[in-house]
A and B are shown apart, each in its own frame.
Chain A
Amino acid sequence: MTYKTPKPETRRSVLTKLAASSAVVAGAAAMPGFVRYSQAQTSAPIKIGFQVHGTGIGAAYGRWYDRTTTAAAKLINDTGGINGRMVEIVAEDDGTDPKRGAEVVEKFASQHNCDVAFGTLFSHVVIGSSPRAGELKLPYFVVSEGHHVASGALNRYTLQPGITDVKSQVQAMAPFVASTLGKKVTMIFPDFAFGHNHRDYFSAAIKEHGGEVIQHIAIPPSESSFTKYFPQIPRETEVLYHVMVGPAVLTFVKELGEFFGPSRPEIFGFIDSLEAVDLASPGLEFLDGTYFWEGNPRYAQADQSEHDKFFRAAVGVDENGASVADPKDVATYSHMFGCWETLHVIKAGMEAAGYSGPGDRAKLIEAVEAMTEMPLSQGHPQGPKLFNGKTHQVFGQQYITKVVNGKLLLAHTAPIADTLYPDEVDYTTQSF
């Protein structure tokens, strides 16, 4: 595995010290009188606990989340750190498991004495860890694209300022699908919460644009062959909407091609079906001419911004969205920018709050809640963003690309306005 934890020697010594003093420090942090004292120690690095999917089902994502995080932290440190302090990333593998995830959050808060926790992708790990982050009063910045934050299911200490959520992504696709591809849609999605979000939000959104979903095909989890489900696709289908996750995604897309042969409907899919998968893989030729949602276009586009160029270079991704070191190692490009942007939001928030130590955690959250517009910039290479302090969720542009000669070319950019929906929660009314 390539993701690196900090050097064992330093970590070990830090740990020994921390184990001895963590009770004292935690106690001190809780007592108002001692806040000044802890604020005085400002030369120490700011510790950001990074909950990484190093093993388990999320490992392919975790590896790229790690590379992006490392690159962003390096950039922040090279340009003076946060409030003059260096940033130290403390990485812990959560095994893509909610129980271990909660333990890792506890470890960040009480053992490593991290200032904040950050970086979780898989929704079940976020939801399993978030209650612990709230109880330990540890700001928890997730990079998950789940709707859990904005739905109000979590708490005031959990924020998602660096990546948009599935609800806004899905509803922003409906106008394009209905106007360009077709009105009669068949959806294929995994039969668990992530897939159900797609089913519910897209079905509602396409109706508003005069289309309809004529068939829902839910694929059970842990399924590894798909052809047997495809006959349920009605003949009159104009658009096939697919979104799959997990290691079997390539099989899914390949079998879809084999099923349709030469006569296929329009196909629109979420790139989640092919994140970290090379489009040149055998069997994917049939995708030519189909469309994808991308959180951030994998292939450098003709109108590539200087910021995307900078971001690619910093993380080590070439213009085809693969590792510079190994062109077969394809990035999770539609998600990993979230780590980069989140770290920049943490930096901006800490600077705005005059953050100096764990006693200022509430101030940090208030500072982030006060954020609104985040223009396209080095810190936000995916595009401009709009943060909603009440729902703790960021909103941003969505991209639709078309496969042309094995590359994904931009076909449509959904504006932020298409991604907005009414607030479902106001976290700012919750006490700290």
Chain B
Amino acid sequence: MEFGPHLLLAILEGAVQAAVLTLTAVGLSLVFGVMRVVNVAHGEFYMLGAVLAWCVTSTLGGHPAIGFVAALIIAPLMVGLIAAAADIFILKRLEYEPKNTIVATIGMLYVIQQVTLIAYGPEARPVQAPFNQRISLPWFEFGDAGFALTWPWGFGTTTYKLAVIVAAVVVLIGLWNLMARSRLGLIMRATQLDREMAQAFGMPVEKVNAMVFGLGAALAALAGVLIVPIQQAHYLMGAEPLLLSFIVVIIGGLGSLAGTVLAAVVIGLSDGVISVFFSPTLAKILSTLFVALILVFRPQGLFGKRDL
């Protein structure tokens, strides 16, 4: 393929990755920002979303769209409840002490993974997309005959992939509204800014924690549901999004939702674009070093102001 379409295709693919990554990372960022909790089990909530989507769609049957819409509602809800329970029964009792929460969430990671392996099995299972048409994309050329449209070999995408991008944007707008306009959002923002002060003003900080943890997990689960028609549900699929989300949250600057979104887009896109220029594994080496060096020279992240 020629360079132009190749690059555009990589950007398109990167945009789909970025969309899913944004949702996952925003969930982590909320938990991180408001609760100061490093949630190592976050990737497992993503995985649970995907796995539950498979369970819901295969139980309901019928047209793929019915099951999928049901999964979009049920999976995040269930995962959110599980996470809220984990917060109430475990993290709260640890008083959110950083080292202990890390170990406890690692423990949760093991448990969730293993329960999934037993209940769901080791296979990667597909979920059918509600709709999935291939769209061939045109490219332009200035040849001898002047300007012309061509249809390069393999240059295309699918309607579902485009829909994922749209869905992510819609969810983010909804979330932004929640944070900016609702009372819950106000409490969350206040808690994030100054926990003691918020408490002193009589805000129900304790209750907010469970909701934030649940909301963060639900966002990850939603991302899992959205990705599962493209990838498959597998009990080990949580590792990659966990790593990427951490990177995104830190690069974006702790506590900055806007920064997180921007960083997710940058990281998602760059992963695709770098693969155009370098051999794939070399591209991975370079992009991880790139992330490390950004942090080394801008420890507060690209968009953050405070020190961590």
Residues of A within 8 A of B (CB): 1, 55-57, 59-60, 62-63, 191, 217-225, 227-233, 235, 247-251, 254, 258-261, 263, 276-277, 281-283, 329
**Interface pair B134/A225, CB less than 8 Å apart:** no
Q: With A220-B284, A223-B280, A231-B1 known to touch, is A258 a contact of B153 (CB < 8 Å)?
A: no
Given A59-B117, A62-B122, A223-B280, A228–B154 Cβ distance below 8 Å? no
Instruction: Please judge, given known A-B contacts A1-B118, A218-B281, A250-B126, whether A225 and B230 are in contact too, CB under 8 Å.
Output: yes
Q: Kindly state the separation between the CA atoms of A72 and B10 in the bound complex, as whole angstroms.
A: 49
Contact of A60 among B13, B16, B114, B123 (CB under 8 A): B123
- Listed by A's residue number, 13 A-B pairs whose Cβ atoms lie within 8 Å are A1-B122, A59-B117, A59-B122, A220-B284, A221-B281, A224-B240, A228-B10, A231-B6, A248-B124, A258-B157, A260-B153, A282-B128, A283-B126
**Is B199 an interface residue when CB atoms closer than 8 A count as contact?**
no
Of the candidates A56, A222, A248, which one forms a contact with B231 in the assembled complex, judged by CB atoms under 8 Å apart?
A: A248
Q: Are A60 and B122 in contact (CB under 8 A)?
A: yes
Contact, CB under 8 Å: B280 / A219: yes
Closest CB-CB distance, A121 to chain B, in whole Å? 13
CB-based contact A55/B158 at 8 Å: no
Report the minimum CB–CB distance from B132 to chain A (whole Å). 8
When the two chains form their complex, are residues A231 and B5 in contact, meaning their CB atoms are under 8 A apart?
A: yes
Decide: B5 and A229 in contact? CB cutoff 8 A: no
Nearest CB of chain B from residue A227's CB, rounded to whole Å: 5
Question: B120 to nearest A CB, angstroms?
Answer: 10
B210 contacts A by Cβ under 8 Å? no
One digit per residue, 1 when the CB lies within 8 angstroms of any chain A CB and 0 when it does not, for chain B 98-140 equals 0000000000000000100110011110101100101010000
- Whether B283 sits at the interface, judged by CB under 8 Å, is yes
| Contact between B134 and A261, CB atoms less than 8 A apart | yes
Find chain A residues with CB under 8 A from B256 CB.
none
Judging by beta carbons under 8 Å apart, are B123 and A276 in contact? Answer: yes
Could you tell me if B158 and A228 are in contact, using CB atoms closer than 8 angstroms? no
> Taking the complex as formed, is B24 at the interface, i.e. its CB lies under 8 A from any CB of chain A?
no
For chain B residues 31-88, which have a beta carbon within 8 Å of chain A? 64
Chain B 136-167: CB-based contact to A (< 8 A → 1; otherwise 0): 10000000000000000111111000000000
Find residues 184-232 in chain B having any chain A CB closer than 8 Å to their own CB. 230-232
Note all chain A residues with C-beta closer than 8 A to B232: 247-248, 250-251
A182 to B9 Cα, complex, angstroms: 28
In this complex, the interface size class of chain B, counting residues with CB under 8 Å from chain A, is: 35 or more
Residue with the highest number of chain B CB atoms closer than 10 Å, among A219, A224, A232: A224
Among residues of B, the one whose C-beta sits closest to the C-beta of A259 is B154
Q: Are A259 and B156 in contact (CB under 8 A)?
A: yes
Q: How far is the CA of A276 from the CA of B234 in the complex (A)?
A: 13
Give chain B residues whose Cβ lies under 8 Å from the Cβ of A329: 123
For residue A2, give the distance in angstroms from its CB to the closest CB of chain B: 8
Bound-state Cα–Cα, A277 to B121, Å: 13
Known contacts A57-B236, A220-B284, A251-B231; is-contact A228 B121 (Cβ 8 Å): no
Q: Are B136 and A224 closer than 8 Å at their CB atoms?
A: no
Q: Which residues of A contact B239 (CB under 8 A)?
A: 222
Which residues of chain B have C-beta atoms less than 8 A from A250's C-beta?
124, 126, 232
- B17 at interface, CB cutoff 8 A: yes
Closest to B17 in A: A225
Are B123 and A228 in contact, with the CB atoms below 8 A? no
CA distance A328 to B236 in the complex (A): 20
Q: Complex Cα distance A249/B237, Å?
A: 13
CA–CA, A395 and B266, complex, Å = 50
Instruction: Judge whether A281 and B117 touch: CB under 8 Å.
Output: no
Answer yes or no: B300 CB below 8 A from chain A CBs: no
How many whole Å from A327's CB to the nearest CB in chain B?
A: 13
User: Whole-angstrom distance between the alpha carbons of A235 and B152 in the complex?
Assistant: 10
* B269-291 CB contacts (< 8 Å) to partner A: 272, 275-276, 279-281, 283-284
Does B231 contact A224, Cβ atoms closer than 8 Å? Answer: yes
B129 to chain A, nearest CB (A): 7
| B275 & A228 in contact (Cβ 8 Å cutoff) | yes
Which A residues lie within 8 Å of B121 (CB)?
1, 60, 63
> For residue A55, which residues in chain B have a CB less than 8 angstroms away from its CB?
114, 117, 122
In-complex Cβ contact of A63 among B122, B128, B154, B275 (8 A): B122
Instruction: Tell me whether A228 and B124 are in contact in the complex, defined as CB-CB below 8 angstroms, given that A247-B236, A258-B134, A282-B129 are known contacts.
Output: no
Whether B124 pairs with A277 at a CB distance below 8 angstroms is yes
- Is the pair B13, A227 in contact by a Cβ cutoff of 8 Å? yes
A427–B278 alpha-carbon span in the complex (Å): 42
13 extra A-B contacts, CB within 8 A, seeds A60-B123, A248-B124: A191-B280, A219-B280, A224-B231, A224-B240, A229-B280, A231-B10, A233-B154, A235-B153, A249-B124, A250-B232, A261-B136, A281-B126, A282-B128
Question: CB-CB < 8 A to B10: which residues of A?
Answer: 228, 231
Task: Give the chain A neighbours of B253 by CB distance below 8 A.
Answer: none
Question: How many angstroms between the C-alpha atoms of A81 and B123 in the bound complex?
Answer: 33
B154 touches A230 (CB 8 A): yes
Nearest Cβ on chain B to A372's Cβ, whole angstroms: 37
Contacts of B301 in A (CB 8 A): none
Which of B14, B132, B134, B237 contacts A228, CB < 8 Å? Answer: B14
Beyond A231-B1, A281-B126, whether A191 also contacts B275 by CB under 8 A is no
Alpha-carbon distance A380/B65, docked complex (angstroms): 46
Question: Are A251 and B128 in contact (CB-based, < 8 A)?
Answer: no
Q: Which residues of B contact A276 (CB under 8 A)?
A: 123
- Cα of A235 to Cα of B5 in the assembled complex, Å: 14
Q: Give 8 nearest A-B pairs by CB, closest first.
A: A59-B122, A231-B1, A247-B234, A247-B124, A231-B6, A282-B128, A220-B281, A60-B122
Q: Are B122 and A225 in contact (CB under 8 A)?
A: no
Residues of B within 8 A of A59 (CB): 117, 122, 235
The chain A residue sitting closest to B154, CB to CB, is A259
Task: Tell whether, in the assembled complex, residue A231 and residue B236 are in contact, meaning their CB atoms are under 8 Å apart.
Answer: no
- Chain B residue, CB-CB nearest to A216: B279
Residue of B nearest to A219 (CB): B280
Question: A219, A228, A229 — which one has the most chain B CB atoms within 10 A of its CB?
Answer: A228
Cα A205 to Cα B277 in complex, Å, equals: 30
The answer to whether A261 touches B156 (Cβ under 8 A) is yes
Taking a contact as CB atoms under 8 Å apart, the answer to whether A247 and B281 are in contact is no
Task: Name the contact of A225 in the complex, choosing from B6, B132, B157, B231 (C-beta under 8 A).
Answer: B231
Check B240 against A222 for contact (C-beta < 8 Å). yes
CA distance A178 to B67 in the complex (A): 45
Max chain A CB contacts within 10 Å: which of B16, B232, B239, B283? B232
- A225 in contact with B156 (CB, 8 Å): no
CB proximity of A179 to chain B, nearest CB, Å:
26
